[in-house]
């Protein structure tokens, strides 16, 4: 009985290329690796290109001049009192944080969809040789159909051989056709979903650009309301930087700031006064609801489970883990999007704002009750010495890449990383109990 052999040819330039057993047996292993490497490299190149396109889509969007003027008119029209400004700033910061989370989620979905698209294309390419041979066989049968036995009995043997050929080939044709149809359908669906996700990404990126523009104008308006002169502020900044250069540790820095810097000393005094005046225990409602407050409405120790996270991102190192130097970490490290806005996790007074050793740009808040909150790794800090900031108020901006520091070594991420540390009477404490659950943050935002 005749048999049918279907040869699978290697697809030279396609991912997932295959070869026959005889070809593999005869080929040198080095040549096989050389044939595979370009395919792998091509897939990696596509992935890198896809990531760059997504990053550029979010980064390079500019607000139109008409929209910018509209936002400027909107800011100019609002009441310039402290409560109105704070309220708008907090709402805008919440919106930005939500949009950054949505953009990150969309980008992850797009990367996954791109990987699925590559898999489908590889599946199609891997069967290209089989499909070519089967289609060629069908074409030959169509040109020279098998003869009918009743008309030409002498060709009976040819008819039997043709029937055997068809019986052998047709099941494979059916299987391959069904697989091909499924792959093509999935490829079409993926392209449609990817197009929708890119459209959503573009829309959210534009909204994010508008909200960032609005926030910059709001912060500028608030800075104009501050009474401290630029000369006094610059003098205190220079003195604070001198103390930072001489300090042996963060604990030493905080102690010196609150004794030698006027604004930091006043902040410490205000925090103690606020602690005496604040009602303790379970206070009903949202303690952060009043945007016009000039002091914490609740003691920091009572704020456990209520504080908003300072940035949208993924925790890459938690408190109390062993770092690359064998020491226990004293804070938490959060990987963020490039250019993310950083908000204050609590009400407090700024006692330091500037560079400090390997921490990069460091912000220290006195939150009362002997507690301090430290935020490091930012590209820019917007809060000033002595300023009282509200929980959720923007205080800085992350850079485009990770700030190389001792606190972020070995984290395996190229994203910007915000380092967060809570201290009680100079000693680090775990921030985890203070964070509100994600659901509560969304409800409040």
- Choice among 146-155, 223-232, 239-248, 265-274 with the minimum mean pLDDT: 146-155
DSSP string, 24-58: HHHS-HHHHHHHHHHHHHHHHHHHHHHHHHHHHHH
Could you tell me if 4 and 162 are in contact, meaning their C-beta atoms sit under 8 angstroms apart? no
Per-residue model confidence as pLDDT tens digits over 103-128:
888 888 888 888 888 888 887 777 77
Short-list 311, 309, 276, CA closest to 295: 276
Short-list 179, 112, 429, 393, CA closest to 300: 429
Spatial separation of the C-alpha atoms in residues 103 and 99, rounded to whole Å:
6
Residue 407 has pLDDT above 60, yes or no: no
Q: What is the pTM of this model?
A: 0.66
pLDDT band at 150 (very low <50, low <70, confident <90, very high): very low
Burial class (CB in 10 A: 0-12, 13-18, 19+), 5: exposed
Strand partners, 341: 397
Per-residue model confidence as pLDDT tens digits over 55-71:
766 666 777 777 777 77
Average pLDDT over residues 423-439: 89
pLDDT value of residue 8: 32
pLDDT value of residue 258: 82
pLDDT value of residue 231: 60
| Residue written as token pair 């609150």 | 258
pLDDT band at 316 (very low <50, low <70, confident <90, very high): very high
Could you tell me if 319 and 403 are in contact, meaning their C-beta atoms sit under 8 angstroms apart? no
């Amino acid at each position: 009985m005749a048999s049918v052999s279907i040869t699978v040819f290697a697809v030279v330039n396609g991912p997932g290329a295959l070869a026959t057993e005889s070809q593999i047996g005869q080929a040198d292993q080095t040549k096989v690796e050389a044939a595979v490497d370009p395919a792998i490299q091509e897939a990696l190149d596509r992935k890198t290109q896809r990531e760059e396109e997504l990053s550029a889509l979010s980064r390079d969007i500019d607000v139109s001049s008409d929209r910018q003027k509209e936002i400027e008119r909107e800011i100019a029209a609002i009441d310039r009192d402290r409560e109105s400004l704070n309220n708008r700033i907090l709402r805008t910061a919440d919106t930005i944080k939500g949009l950054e989370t949505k953009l990150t989620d969309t980008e992850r979905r797009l990367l996954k969809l791109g990987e699925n698209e590559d898999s489908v294309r590889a599946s199609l390419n891997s069967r290209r040789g089989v499909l070519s041979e089967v289609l060629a066989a069908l074409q030959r049968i169509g040109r020279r159909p098998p003869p009918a036995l009743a008309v030409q009995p002498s060709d009976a043997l040819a008819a039997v051989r043709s029937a055997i050929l068809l019986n052998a080939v047709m099941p494979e044709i059916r299987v391959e056709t069904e697989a091909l149809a499924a792959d093509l359908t999935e490829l079409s669906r993926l392209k449609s979903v990817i197009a929708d996700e890119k459209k959503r990404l573009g829309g959210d990126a534009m909204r994010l650009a508008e909200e960032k523009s609005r926030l910059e104008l709001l912060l500028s308006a608030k800075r104009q309301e501050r009474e401290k002169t630029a000369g006094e502020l610059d003098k205190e900044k220079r003195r604070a930087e001198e103390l930072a250069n001489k300090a042996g540790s963060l604990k030493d820095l905080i102690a010196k700031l609150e004794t030698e810097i006027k604004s930091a000393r006043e902040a410490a005094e205000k925090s103690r006064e606020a602690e005496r005046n604040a009602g303790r225990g379970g206070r009903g409602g949202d303690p952060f609801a009043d945007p016009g407050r000039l002091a914490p409405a609740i003691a920091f120790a009572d704020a456990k489970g209520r504080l908003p996270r300072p940035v949208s991102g993924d925790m890459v190192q938690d408190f109390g883990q062993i770092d690359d130097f064998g020491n226990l970490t004293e804070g938490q490290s959060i990987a963020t999007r490039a250019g993310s806005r950083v908000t204050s996790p609590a009400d407090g007074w700024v006692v330091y704002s500037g560079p400090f050793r390997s921490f990069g740009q460091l912000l220290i808040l006195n939150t009362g009750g002997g507690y301090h909150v430290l935020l490091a790794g930012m590209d820019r800090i917007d809060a000033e010495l002595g300023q009282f900031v509200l929980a959720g108020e923007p205080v800085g901006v992350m850079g485009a890449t990770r700030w190389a520091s001792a606190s972020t070594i070995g984290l395996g991420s190229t994203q910007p990383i915000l380092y967060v540390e809570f201290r009680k009477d100079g000693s680090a404490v775990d921030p985890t109990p203070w964070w509100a659950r994600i659901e509560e943050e969304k409800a409040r935002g």
